[in-house]
Amino acid sequence: MIQNQSNQKNKIRDRIIILLSGISLIVCITILFPQVRQMILDLTEQDLHIKTFSYQIWLKTLLSFAIGGICFILFFDYCTLTNSGKEIVRKVKQEIKECLYEIDFRSFRKPVLIMSGIYLLGILAIIRANFLYEDDIQYAVLGFREWFNWSRYFIVFLSYFVQPEISMTDISPIPQLLAVLVLAVSSVLLVYVLGDKKITLVSLLASIPLGLSPFFLECLSYKFLAVYFALSILVCIIPFLFIARKKAFFVCSLVCLLIMCTTYQAASGIYLLLVIILCFQDWNSRKKSTKEIFSFLGIAVFAFCFALLVYRFFLMRPAAYYVSNEMLPTSQIIMGTLENIKNYTLTINRNLSLIWKAGIVLVFVLFIIKSTYRSGQKKPVSFFVSILVIGLSFIASYGVYSLLMKPLWAARALFGFGVFLSILCVYVVSDFKKIAVVTVLALNWCFFTFAFSYGNALADQARYAEFRIGILLHDLSALYPNHTGEDLSIHLKGNIDYTPSIRNIAKHNPVITLLVPPRLEDSRVFDNLYYMEYFNFGTYRMTHLQNDSINENPFPENLPVVLDSYYHTIKSDGSHLLIILKH
């Protein structure tokens, strides 16, 4: 009787799946027709009042979604309707359960609390600065979620849980506090994975660069996005909890990597970093055979490449604003990649202080010494392989950005370097000499204290910028008290420079100029929005002088001076207004 009821339920479930799959397939196939795609675009623009960025981009996006949808439906039906598919799903679920059962989650509570306290203290000055960082300005003023345009679908999905409102508002520091928790879990899991399920206080402290490296501080400065940046790190570590079971590891890797790709792609190198270091550990200690190591490496690389291919062909939308997500052409792939790696190295080098560089070099040396001293392989071989591992890991820390035609060089795109350092630091302090512990903790203390300098510098620059904005808007309101903004085109030229305190920091920590936005600068998109709409001066036609070369009607610079002060010069002919900012 019970068996019959179960069979009946399964039949009903299968019929529902077939019905829904059929409807979904019809929808996806219909979208493949050009006329249907055009109709959808017209409805999107006219009925929903959403102006599409580019018809060609949206057409390609709809086509990719349709083909991807068909593939997903067929795969889902195979897993739920066929006996072989059901058996694969059963085995994967069983392996995942076995892996989770072997983990003592209660042992994570205290380490997570410790790291949460450290990270919270580290970003306290950033929270106190209350700085609307870059994109935060448009989210606070306009309230819309525009991450779909950057293929960050998972951020859009999660944002409705973090802030379940149609129009976003500034709810900081909630996203930053959530980021602290996510980073704490990431550090604990990183130590757990690298330390063969052993967690110590020293190892936890060694992982601090994961969340408080100078480059990730920019990610923590975003009031709206901080938690999603942190999540991109966590999902790259989670698959390695299932490393003991091949099927579970592959499936979890695939899912987590797709989440990473639709959250923040700068984290793409973290997965590769862990693969490299874990393979090296197993090889160097002879814990696993060469066959087992290559088997794990093959599964990991296949999962990584497969996830990126799925993202590239079915989920990624073209981006060609200040960066490009287009890969280098085949003819330029080698030279272009080498050029990107060279630029990555130079960017990291010129933004680190001398003390940081010395500490990092010592960590490298200690890594080589420990690897050679504790090696189960021949010492000379282990010596050269450990150097090779450092080089490969450094390259991998930039992720897939090394393969792009126009990669991003902002600090938030470089945070893989901090994870790279944290991995080496955790490895070095694990069961090694006290000099290694002292070196690593001294380096991490430098990063920890710099976070306070940076947070205070944000607050300092904000005060100065708002002072300059106040003077500027006072002069503009006096010169043009009756303008509505529709007949006045305003342009900025130059910037207001940094405060003396920031210039003092930059003498020894040049990364500060990469992190702190001047706020009033002609090349920054959201500065116009900030000094106009945020201060309730009105919506004006604002463009940048650097973009005039592509405009049909370039902005005239030979205008009569209407006001000249210590802080700025204002030129205008009544319809065009040029503001030349002085240092």
Is the same domain home to 121 and 214? yes
Give mean pLDDT, residues 121-145. 88
Q: What's the pTM value of the predicted model, to 2 decimals?
A: 0.90
137-153 residues labelled b (16+ CB within 10 A) or e (exposed): bbbbbeeebebebbbbb
pLDDT, tens digit, 9 for 90 and up, residues 263-297 = 998 999 999 999 999 999 999 988 888 999 999 99
CB atoms closer than 10 angstroms to residue 86: 13
pLDDT band at 521 (very low <50, low <70, confident <90, very high): confident
Mean pLDDT (whole number) for 220-224: 93
4 or 374, greater pLDDT:
374
Q: How many helices (H) and strands (E) does the chain have?
A: 24, 7
Nearest CA among 508, 518, 519 for reference residue 450: 508
Final residue of a structural domain among 432, 447, 469:
432
Q: Are 238 and 323 in a shared domain?
A: yes
- Does one domain contain both 339 and 373? yes
- Which residue's structure tokens are 């690593």? 440
Q: How many CB atoms lie within 10 A of CB 558?
A: 7
Name residue 406's beta-bridge partners: 324
Count of domains forming the chain: 3
The rounded percent of the chain whose pLDDT value lies above 90 is 51
Same domain, yes or no, for 466 and 423? no
Residues 389 and 302 in one domain: yes
Distance CA 155, CA 135 (A): 14
Question: Which amino acid type is present at position 396?
Answer: A
List, for residues 364-390, the tens digit of each pLDDT value. 999 999 999 888 888 999 999 999 999
Q: Is residue 219 part of a domain?
A: yes
Q: In whole angstroms, what is the distance from residue 411 CA to residue 133 CA?
A: 13
Q: Compute how many other C-beta atoms are within 10 angstroms of the C-beta atom of residue 408.
A: 16
pLDDT of 51 higher than 80:
no
pLDDT band at 38 (very low <50, low <70, confident <90, very high): low
Residue 62 pLDDT grade (very low, low, confident, very high; cuts 50, 70, 90): low
In degrees and rounded to multiples of 5, residue 543 shows phi and psi of -135, 175
Side chain identity at 375, as an amino acid letter? S
The pLDDT tens digits of the residues spanning 446-468 come to 999 999 999 999 999 999 999 99
CA neighbours within 13 Å on the CB side: how many for 525?
8
Q: What gap in Å lies between CA 422 and CA 424, rounded to an integer?
A: 5
Work out the average pLDDT over 516-537: 77
Question: Quick one: what percent of the chain has pLDDT higher than 70?
Answer: 87
Are the C-beta atoms of 465 and 498 separated by less than 8 Å? no
Q: Judge whether residue 545 has pLDDT over 60.
A: no
Residue 486 has a pLDDT of 57
Please name the residue that has the structure tokens 């300098």.
453
The reply to whether 168 and 313 lie within a common domain is yes
Mean pLDDT to the nearest integer, 492-507: 90
Q: Which of 237-246, 322-331, 490-499 has the highest mean predicted lDDT (pLDDT)?
A: 237-246
pLDDT at 43 over 70: no
Domain boundary among 81, 115, 143: 81
476 within 8 A of 567, measured Cβ to Cβ: no
pLDDT attached to residue 44: 56
Predicted confidence (pLDDT) at residue 85 exceeds the cutoff of 90: no
Count CA atoms closer than 13 A to 551's CA, side-chain side.
Answer: 11
Residue at 454 is within a domain: no
- Residue-level pLDDT at 397: 95
Residue 56, C-beta contacts closer than 8 angstroms, at least 6 positions apart: none
Please report where in the chains the tokens 């409807």 appear, as a residue.
23
Pick the residue with more confidence: 368 or 434? 368
Residue 426 amino acid letter: V
- Where residue 483 falls among pLDDT bands split at 50, 70, 90? low
Residues 239 and 373 in one domain: yes
Domain match, 73 and 124 both: no
58 & 123 share domain: no
**pLDDT over 90 (residue 233):** yes
Q: Round to whole Å and give the CA distance between 200 and 423.
A: 15
Let me know whether 503 and 389 are in one domain.
Answer: no
Q: What is the pLDDT of residue 559?
A: 87
Quote the tokens at residue 508.
């020894």
Q: Are strands 541-544 and 489-493 parallel, antiparallel or unpaired?
A: parallel
Same-domain check for residues 102 and 77: no
Is the residue at 441 inside a domain?
A: no
Residue 119 — φ and ψ, nearest 5°?
A: -65, -35
Q: Round to whole Å and give the CA distance between 142 and 121.
A: 31
Which of 84-93, 112-121, 373-382 tops mean pLDDT?
112-121
Residues 407, 413: contact at Cβ < 8 Å? yes
Residue 229 lies in a domain: yes
Do 401 and 535 fall into the same domain? no
CA torsion 233-506-524-327 (nearest 10°) is: -50
What pLDDT does residue 548 have?
42
List of residues 6+ apart from 357 with CB closer than 8 A: 349
Decide which of 55, 81, 107 is a domain's last residue. 81
Residues 6+ apart with CB under 8 A from 347: 409, 414
Parent domain of 475:
459-581
pLDDT value, residue 4: 61
- The pLDDT score that the predictor gives to residue 543 is 47
In a domain, 397, yes or no: yes
Is residue 280 situated within a structural domain?
yes
Asked if residue 418 has pLDDT above 70, the reply is yes
Looking at residue 574, what is its pLDDT? 77
pLDDT of residue 572: 86
- Is residue 281 in some structural domain? yes
CA distances from 529 to 137, 494, 554 (A): 7, 16, 21
Which whole number is the average pLDDT over 258-264? 92
| For residue 424, pLDDT beyond 60 | yes
Average pLDDT of the chain to the nearest whole number: 85
Q: Is the model more confident about 324 or about 193? A: 193
- Give, as one character, the DSSP assignment of residue 548: G
The reply to whether 289 falls in a domain is: yes
Asked if the model's pLDDT at residue 72 lies above 90, the reply is no
Alpha carbon 470 to its chain centroid, in Å, reads 34
